[in-house]
Structure 1
Amino acid sequence: MAEVKNMFEYNEESIRSLDWKEHIRLRPGMYIGKLGDGSAPDDGIYVLIKEVIDNCIDEYTMGHGKQVELTIEGKTVSVRDYGRGIPLGKVVDVVSKINTGAKYDSKAFQKSVGLNGVGTKAVNALSQYFKVTAFRDGKQKTAEFEKGELVNEHKEVKTSEANGTLVEFIPDDTVFRNFHYIHEYLDNQLWNYCYLNAGLVMNFNGKKYVSRNGLLDLLIRKTNADELRYPIIHLKGEDIEVALSHNNDYGEDIFSFVNGQYTTQGGTHQQAFREAYVKVVRDFFKKDYEASDIRTSIVAAVSVRVQEPVFESQTKTKLGSQTVYEGGPSMKNFVLDFLAKELDNFLHRNPAVADALKKRIEQNERERKELAGIKKLANERAKKANLHNKKLRDCRVHLNDEPPAKNKEEFEALKKNSTIFITEGDSASGSITKSRNVDSQAVFSLRGKPLNSFGLTKKVVYENEEFNLLQHALNIEDGLEGLRYNQVIIATDADVDGMHIRLLLMTFFLQFFPDLVKHEHVYILETPLFRVRNKQETIYCYDETEKKEAVKKLGGKPEITRFKGLGEISPEEFGKFIGQDMRKQLISINNEVAIHDVLDFYMGKNTPERQDKIIENLRTDLDLIAAE
């Protein structure tokens, strides 16, 4: 009898060494975060573009090349900068040898966003086709790769092209399944580059991006002038820039950046700003205001330049550096010293702004004291409910969890994928609960239609048990710092009632926690409307067009099932729609429109204007038949 090998045995044969591209392709989440299909702004295909552009930005910050060109045709991405160009003898090594690059030498790249020599290697390994061309001093060299494997290294030739680097790649569709680019996400990404590098010109498929006033331009674009309590304060110093104001929203809305990198999860620089701002304001007014009263309704952007920054993961969404440079001041003291001088001077020179700021703080103070009594009772009730909270089926890993010493990268990937589904009714929540990933996906079940909170004060968040429990599940009572889930996904039926519940939940978030939406955490889950199948194949379709294509593909007379609600989809099927290929729609805000005006139009009293819009957009049965 042949000896049966123990597959769980741990010995010398268990140890395996992977080369750089195998490791990246086996564990892509360690290098680019979640994969996705392009439906979310932090999906991997956008991270690939960012990794390439980051190198162009590093050239610009070192004083080389004032223009970057991005072109996307179908699934092919092209990025061209006009910096110094990769040294021709190292073109292959720079994009295919791990821990190879110029950024280990702080003289060449003093304040680069990337220092570990991984970025373009990850792009190369995760692309079905990757081509790099360096132009340098009248010569050029090109190398071509497929999934990280060198397939063609061209000889050096003469060229009339200006110095710089051209990278072209097609993401591997076996890694990024059914991916597509949403240009609006890239639009935001490119604007951020320009705001952080005033004077840099970026071109994307013929559209020009340039900022002359840095973070001031960013806040102008991110806010509505009618909602600001005073003109934006804009302060610039060596290696630091700050812009801030207050509006009428609840919570804090802070955009933080390090060396041109948008740190969506903040970090030491953002925390330093929050603490320093409170201290400077207290010192200026010579009054010990509550920190929450000072920061509530603040909208701000802070950017710092740091030598050899330390991020908490390869995707660089949270800064861990404690100092600005080796042997230099702590991040806390650096930011405090800057604000203590510049913000204090500004407030002394602009008494009208100082007075408006004081009034906003004192308004927050009054509102907080009015809420104190009911807030205490509501929180006590929520604590008791949390012990036996049947509404929440929690997951194991949360966005605000501290990573363990071991498997830190995998843990960070789970944190980035942490999700809470907000569902209607027991049947839908039951299907999701049975099919979810218990490590990173939680479920919160609504009893029915939530309250229309438009026009109500924050008092309703504590008086309404369902809103209060949802607030505690998300852990956003005191802002986004403690947010437990990276993705808040509203999962309702695609019927009239389901749409209404979506609107009511969006009203709640926009009214009381708008920064949750502004920082792109809220989504609508898309689930299939049809199942088309024969004995050999089953195809799930999300609209009429996909249904027609499925019927045509299967031929004959396939069985067609119309899903009326989420509860009709079995847990086994549901698992296919909330996994790696989950389709979801990001809820984003048009900053040119005031949130209050939008909510007033859709969720306020019925008006002739709203009636006219409904009538103009009515579709009759004849319209629907004609559309088919």
Structure 2
Amino acid sequence: MAKKREEYGNESISSLKGADRVRKRPSVIFGSDGLEGCEHSFFEILSNSIDEAREGYGSKIVVTHFADDSIQVQDFGRGIPVDWNNNEQCYNWELVFCELYAGGKYKEQGNNYEYSLGLNGLGSCATQYSSEYFDVTVVRDGFQYDLHFEKGNIVGEMKKTPTTQKKTGTTQKWRADLDVFTDIKIPQAYFLDTIKKQAVVNPGVLFEFVDHTPDGVQKFDFCYENGITDYLKELVGEQGLTGVEYWEAERVGRDRDDRDDYKVKLSVALCFSNRVQISEYYHNSSFLEYGGSPERAVRQAFVSQIDSYLKQNGKYLKNEGKITFADVEDCLCLISSSFSTQTSYENQTKKAITNKFIYEAMTEFLKHQLEVYFLENPVDASKIAEQVLVNKRSRENAEKTRLNIKKKLQGNMDITNRVQKFVDCRTKDVSKRELFIVEGDSALGSCKLSRDAEFQAIIPVRGKILNCLKSGYDKIFKSDIIIDLLKVLGCGVEVKAKQNKDIASFDLSGLRWNKVIICTDADVDGFQIRTLILTMLYRLTPTLIEEGYVYIAQTPLYEINTKNKVYFAYNEPEKAQILEEIGSEKYTIQRSKGLGENEPDMMWLTTMNPETRRAIKVMPEDAERMSQVFDLFEGDDLQGRKDHIANHGHEYLDLADIS
């Protein structure tokens, strides 16, 4: 019976209430219901402690990660007010931990936080709502306050007891709820990275991280007395072209004419290097993964001022184009930390800001500072200009190379561009087309007579191709054999090495074949040629292997003839099994000839007929292991090869061509 559809009427509309507003839709607040969302819930609590420390209340924050994945954040600030609030006629703990959009950062006058990381009054409440349990201990005003929540609801009442403790502050311990998040196992690396970043942009604040691991308790301390300047010096070390500069300024302005003014505090640490490239942006202490206004300001200011310097000093060649930010960025090391009394984040996860005034103020500030810096430091200015031009010209040359290679590899297979000795098939249906890469011209002739010309094409490899693990890309792309193979494949190349990113032009949709079959003689030379072809594909078009397009054609090792039947054995065990089946019957046995000497009927039957051939799909389950094997046999590790031969060579003596 068909399921009855529910009527969509007035009673169909409902709203989430209380803790369900977060527990059933955590992604709205935290950006995700997975590990990333759980990590952000931790950052929300940490942010409130950071706001206290930045205002001068407490100089230490302790984060503890326990073995059961519970987390504790302890600060030594003023302590969150949790007692009775006459203005709101309720307890402050209700506002802070049970009410979204409530907190101490909303008042236009008398705001306790000038530059605040937590703005929306969501973090403490949302994290409490999304926790299995959430414990709060506050020390302030001569009292200790204790609260215990479970799954978004208070359990019991707030405990208020007199204390003689002189140090005020807030301690919050909680365990994220697996009913809310799919994963709560925050890795140590996240804590270390996040806490270190906060130490960088909060000068003089000591951050302690205590991690209870299966191997014992580990402790880490982070403190940067000079903030982003010390951090940049740590990152660049002795690899700078110029020394580290620190610039700061304050501005007042507005995003729109009908909006109120707000304050912006800007600080930047920077230097230039031809070995290190760094760019990190922070606002109100939050790491801006996607940048936003500060990043756009850096792009605009640096391109404008360096381009102006190049023009004024005649550094450009005649008719040379203008630099881009990519040319500057390749040698720029910059940490930006800005603060504002009003902030427009893209969303609650605070990974980018969009303030128009911050962009304008920072652009003007950086342009002015760069102009003065270039005037006062002519030697540094010249170094920077020369390095940016080197980057620009290298990029343009790489782009020309990439386009030439792309054109060379993906050109149309017409008469003028036909690969020598390539024999195409008739069908244009890619799902049926097979390409046989065969060993030498003699094999080409034999396979050409044996194939089904409707869907099987052939390209011969003349001798042993270049070892693509030992050779640089310049040498590889000068090899006619490799270029011919890549032309026939039609999908271009993918170069994963970062320094060669500009020549990657791989497009799987351009592949002209459903199967690429490597077909070589069953001898030592054949095995080596096969390995070299596989190595080439592995380095230049690894996706073809990963996606299962590459095959190895097995050719028989022995031909066994009896009066009534011909048998083919592909290995020694098969040979023994066939001889056992034949029994006392008379037979002749011969080692298989090279591909070029085989009769067409035999080639079709054993190697090319999809119904009777044996073709092994090259589908590495472990790409890293495949890489290690290729590196061992075809790379530069001579000692590794010697050791392998010494340890395992005896296992292959039967295959050695020794007379």
User: Shorter-chain TM-score: what band?
Assistant: 0.5 to 0.7
Corresponding residue for 1:269? 294
Measured against aligned partners, the alpha-carbon deviations of 1:563-609 in whole angstroms (never above 9, x if no partner) come to x999999xxxxxxxxxxxxxxxxxxxxxxxxxxxxxx99x984376x
Instruction: Write the distance in 2 (CA, Å) between the matches of 1:384 and 1:113.
Output: 55
Which one of the candidate residues 260, 280, 297 is aligned to 2:285? 260
Which one of the candidate residues 192, 200, 210 is aligned to 2:197? 192
Unaligned residue ranges in structure 1 (runs of 5+): 38-42, 323-329, 386-449, 479-499, 509-563, 570-599, 619-628
Residue 306 of structure 2 contacts residue 385 of structure 2 at CA under 8 Å; is this kept in 1? Answer: no
**1:164 is aligned to 2:163:** no
Q: 1:280-319 alignment to 2 at 5 Å?
A: 280-287=305-312, 289-291=322-324, 292-319=326-353
C-alpha change, 1:313 and 1:611, in structure 2 (3 Å) is farther
Instruction: Write the distance in 1 (CA, Å) between the matches of 2:195 and 2:21.
Output: 30
Which one of the candidate residues 18, 21, 43 is aligned to 2:16? 18
Measured against aligned partners, the alpha-carbon deviations of 1:143-167 in whole angstroms (never above 9, x if no partner) come to 1111111113223211233211111
Corresponding residue for 1:63? 56
**1:135 is aligned to 2:139:** yes
Instruction: Write the distance in 1 (CA, Å) between the matches of 2:297 and 2:70.
Output: 41
Runs (4+) off by over 6 Å: 378-385, 463-471, 564-569, 610-615
Residue 116 of structure 2 contacts residue 341 of structure 2 at CA under 8 Å; is this kept in 1? Answer: yes
The sequence identity of aligned pairs, in percent, is 25
Measured against aligned partners, the alpha-carbon deviations of 1:284-308 in whole angstroms (never above 9, x if no partner) come to 4445841233333423221211222
Higher Rg? 2
Instruction: Write the distance in 1 (CA, Å) between the matches of 2:34 and 2:80.
Output: 31
C-alpha change, 1:352 and 1:504, in structure 2 (3 Å) is farther
Q: 1:94-133 alignment to 2 at 5 Å?
A: 94-106=96-108, 107-133=111-137
Instruction: Write the distance in 1 (CA, Å) between the matches of 2:199 and 2:5.
Output: 57
Measured against aligned partners, the alpha-carbon deviations of 1:233-271 in whole angstroms (never above 9, x if no partner) come to 332333112123344469x74211110000101112211
Deviation at 1:451, TM superposition (A): 6.9
Measured against aligned partners, the alpha-carbon deviations of 1:510-540 in whole angstroms (never above 9, x if no partner) come to xxxxxxxxxxxxxxxxxxxxxxxxxxxxxxx
Q: How many residues align?
A: 424
Residue 409 of structure 2 contacts residue 492 of structure 2 at CA under 8 Å; is this kept in 1? Answer: no
Deviation at 1:173, TM superposition (A): 2.5
Residue 132 of structure 1 contacts residue 142 of structure 1 at CA under 8 Å; is this kept in 2? Answer: yes
Residue 194 of structure 1 contacts residue 202 of structure 1 at CA under 8 Å; is this kept in 2? Answer: yes
Measured against aligned partners, the alpha-carbon deviations of 1:424-450 in whole angstroms (never above 9, x if no partner) come to xxxxxxxxxxxxxxxxxxxxxxxxxx9
Corresponding residue for 2:224? 211
Residue 406 of structure 2 contacts residue 492 of structure 2 at CA under 8 Å; is this kept in 1? Answer: no
C-alpha change, 1:348 and 1:122, in structure 2 (3 Å) is same
Instruction: Write the distance in 2 (CA, Å) between the matches of 1:234 and 1:468.
Output: 44
Instruction: Write the distance in 2 (CA, Å) between the matches of 1:70 and 1:468.
Output: 48
Partner of 1:152, secondary structure, is: coil
TM-score (norm 2): 0.56
| Amino acid across the alignment from 2:289 | T
Measured against aligned partners, the alpha-carbon deviations of 1:491-528 in whole angstroms (never above 9, x if no partner) come to xxxxxxxxx99x979x99xxxxxxxxxxxxxxxxxxxx
TM-score (norm 1): 0.59
Deviation at 1:231, TM superposition (A): 3.0
Deviation at 1:470, TM superposition (A): 8.3
Corresponding residue for 1:331? 358
Deviation at 1:313, TM superposition (A): 1.4
Partner of 2:340, secondary structure, is: coil
Deviates more, 1:179-188 or 1:302-311: 179-188
Partner of 2:159, secondary structure, is: coil
Instruction: Write the distance in 1 (CA, Å) between the matches of 2:361 and 2:49.
Output: 28
Q: Tell which has more relative contact order, 1 or 2 (C-alpha 8 A, sep 6+).
A: 1
Instruction: Write the distance in 2 (CA, Å) between the matches of 1:358 and 1:285.
Output: 7
Unaligned residue ranges in structure 2 (runs of 5+): 84-91, 211-218, 251-264, 317-321, 413-466, 478-482, 504-534, 544-616, 623-630, 649-659
Instruction: Write the distance in 2 (CA, Å) between the matches of 1:315 and 1:454.
Output: 46
Which one of the candidate residues 50, 61, 75 is aligned to 1:81? 75
Residue 470 of structure 2 contacts residue 635 of structure 2 at CA under 8 Å; is this kept in 1? Answer: no
Deviation at 1:63, TM superposition (A): 2.0
Residue 91 of structure 1 contacts residue 134 of structure 1 at CA under 8 Å; is this kept in 2? Answer: no
Deviates more, 1:295-304 or 1:310-319: 295-304
| Amino acid across the alignment from 1:200 | V
Partner of 1:156, secondary structure, is: strand
Instruction: Write the distance in 2 (CA, Å) between the matches of 1:13 and 1:233.
Output: 64
Partner of 2:241, secondary structure, is: coil
Partner of 1:117, secondary structure, is: coil
Measured against aligned partners, the alpha-carbon deviations of 1:361-388 in whole angstroms (never above 9, x if no partner) come to 1211221332343444567899999xxx
Deviation at 1:123, TM superposition (A): 1.0
Residue 88 of structure 1 contacts residue 136 of structure 1 at CA under 8 Å; is this kept in 2? Answer: no
Instruction: Write the distance in 2 (CA, Å) between the matches of 1:313 and 1:203.
Output: 29
Residue 229 of structure 1 contacts residue 360 of structure 1 at CA under 8 Å; is this kept in 2? Answer: no
Residue 148 of structure 2 contacts residue 155 of structure 2 at CA under 8 Å; is this kept in 1? Answer: yes
